[in-house]
């Protein structure tokens, strides 16, 4: 019983850290974006650039994570990142200077990487080391809860608070999340053994598998970031949907909260790559529904599909990375996120430019869906590579000398 209680505390620390670094420090920007455009004079193109700069920070953090093998250093940077998330949130409410906002978004991106990659790697290492199932569905529920919580908070606070006061309210909320996120994650065990005494051994995939996997994840990054960043503004400008943006953003969070647990079960039944392909197809449908069908019902259903798939894909990919590298999971997680993060720098900037040219964000959705189709085809190709690699591994022992 005490072991299960410890597991729940560790997973809860991860949930609170993700609500902090992604919900408060990152996703609060999305529902606050229309308010900042109305009250603080933030332009459409500048909004896109701020989102792109946020992902530049995230990408920088992913690069750092991919280079670090020392668990103790990862733990220290993870904890610093959580504090930085709060400071970056506070900074957003202290000014209307776009340059300072850009600094805040970059630093918030760094903190997101600390929570998402270093924190997730530390938790997965703890689970494997303590002989628990190496699944992150419960942990990643924090992202969906963060999105839904931010959307609800902005919808409620907007009745009484302006954009600036809401950033301060999120700062206070972040301070409350910080306490369990720091206290409930134990210091890392640096031995090479599990609790039962088994050696933790890495089982890396082939270079071709990694290249295709990173390319497919790049496509997933494009598919994710356009809707995640601009969905509130997109919905607000669709016919008959003015004022419904926050409701649709809330639907994304509701769809995302249980998604990772659901995709863990699906992956157990059909395999990781098949689950990724299924999630990608459903995500394409979710991205296109608001513009192809129109109306509030289609927008909400599309948001539920999008929320229920994008975070499932992230969870599956990062869990796979942890299984390939149990001794240093954040290293491959960082490499994968470099692909995901590169997409998240390019796509918001391109979407902002398209929106400036055409007067709306719809072109960005079509771009995201098209790139996701390419990513889905790459995942299908990856299945063949996986079979080839498995066959090569099964043949390897037959040519090894006995003894």
In CATH, the architecture of 2-186+204-391 is: Up-down Bundle (1.20)
Supply 26's token pair.
């990152």
Please report how many Cα atoms fall inside a 13 Å half-sphere around the Cα of residue 182, on the Cβ side.
Answer: 14
Q: Maximum distance among all alpha carbons in the chain?
A: 75
Q: What is the DSSP string of 376-387?
A: HHHHHHHHHHHH
* Total Cβ atoms within 10 A of residue 11: 22
User: What is the pLDDT tens value at each position of the chain, 403 positions in all?
Assistant: 478 888 889 999 999 999 999 999 988 998 898 899 989 888 888 888 898 898 789 889 888 888 887 888 999 999 999 999 999 999 999 999 999 999 999 999 999 999 988 998 899 888 888 888 777 888 888 888 888 888 889 989 989 999 999 999 999 999 999 999 999 998 887 776 666 667 667 778 889 999 999 999 999 999 988 877 777 777 877 777 777 877 887 888 888 878 888 998 999 999 999 999 999 999 999 989 888 887 888 889 998 999 899 989 988 998 888 888 877 777 788 888 888 878 877 887 888 888 888 877 778 888 899 999 999 999 999 999 988 988 887 776 544 444 3
Residues across the chain = 403
Supply 221's token pair.
């990054």
Q: Which of 335, 342, 362 is nearest to 351 (CA)?
A: 362
Distance CA 30, CA 51 (A): 9
DSSP character at residue 360: S
Domain ranges of the chain: 2-186+204-391
Decide: 164 and 147 in contact? Cβ < 8 Å: no
Distance CA 95, CA 92 (A): 6
SS3 135: coil
Alpha helix positions (H), 19-119: 29-39, 44-67, 71-93, 98-113
Q: Which of 322, 315, 331, 337 is nearest to 126 (CA)?
A: 322
Q: Which of 249, 86, 53 is nearest to 167 (CA)?
A: 86
Q: What is the DSSP string of 146-182?
A: HHHHHHHHHHHHTTT--HHHHHHHHHHHHHHHHHHHH
Record the pTM.
0.79
């Amino acid at each position: 019983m005490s072991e299960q209680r410890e597991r729940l505390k560790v997973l809860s620390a991860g949930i609170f850290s993700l609500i902090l670094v992604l919900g408060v420090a990152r996703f609060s920007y999305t529902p606050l974006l229309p308010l900042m455009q109305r009250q603080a004079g933030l332009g459409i193109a500048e909004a896109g650039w701020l989102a792109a700069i946020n992902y530049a920070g995230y990408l920088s953090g992913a690069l750092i994570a991919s280079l670090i093998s020392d668990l103790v250093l990862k733990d220290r940077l993870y904890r610093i990142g959580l504090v930085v998330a709060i400071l970056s949130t506070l900074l957003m409410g202290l000014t209307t200077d776009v340059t300072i906002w850009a600094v805040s978004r970059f630093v918030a991106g760094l903190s997101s990487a600390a929570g998402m990659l270093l924190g997730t790697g530390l938790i997965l290492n703890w689970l494997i080391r303590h002989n628990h199932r190496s699944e992150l569905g419960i942990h990643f529920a924090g992202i969906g809860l963060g999105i839904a919580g931010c959307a609800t908070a902005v919808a409620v606070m907007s009745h009484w608070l302006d954009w600036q006061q809401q950033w301060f309210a999120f700062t206070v909320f972040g301070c409350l999340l910080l306490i369990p996120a720091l206290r409930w994650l134990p210091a890392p065990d640096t031995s090479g053994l599990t609790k039962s005494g088994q050696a933790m051994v890495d089982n890396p995939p082939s270079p071709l598998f990694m290249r295709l996997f990173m390319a497919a994840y790049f496509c997933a990054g494009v598919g994710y970031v356009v809707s995640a960043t601009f969905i509130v503004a997109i919905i607000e400008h669709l016919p008959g949907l003015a004022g419904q943006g926050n409701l649709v953003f809330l639907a994304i969070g509701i769809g995302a909260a249980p998604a990772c647990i659901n995709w863990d079960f699906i992956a157990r039944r059909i395999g990781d790559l098949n689950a990724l392909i299924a999630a990608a197809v459903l995500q394409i449908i979710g991205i296109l529904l608001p513009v192809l069908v129109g109306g509030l019902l289609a927008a909400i259903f599309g948001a539920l599909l999008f929320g229920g798939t994008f975070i499932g894909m992230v969870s599956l990919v990062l869990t796979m990375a942890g299984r390939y590298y149990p001794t240093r999971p954040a290293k491959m997680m960082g490499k994968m996120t470099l692909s995901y993060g590169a997409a998240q720098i390019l796509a918001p900037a391109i979407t902002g430019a398209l929106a400036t040219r055409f007067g709306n964000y719809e072109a960005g959705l079509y771009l995201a869906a098209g790139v996701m189709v390419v990513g889905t085809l790459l995942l299908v190709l990856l299945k063949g590579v996986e079979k080839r690699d498995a066959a090569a591994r099964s043949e390897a022992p037959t040519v090894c000398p006995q003894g």
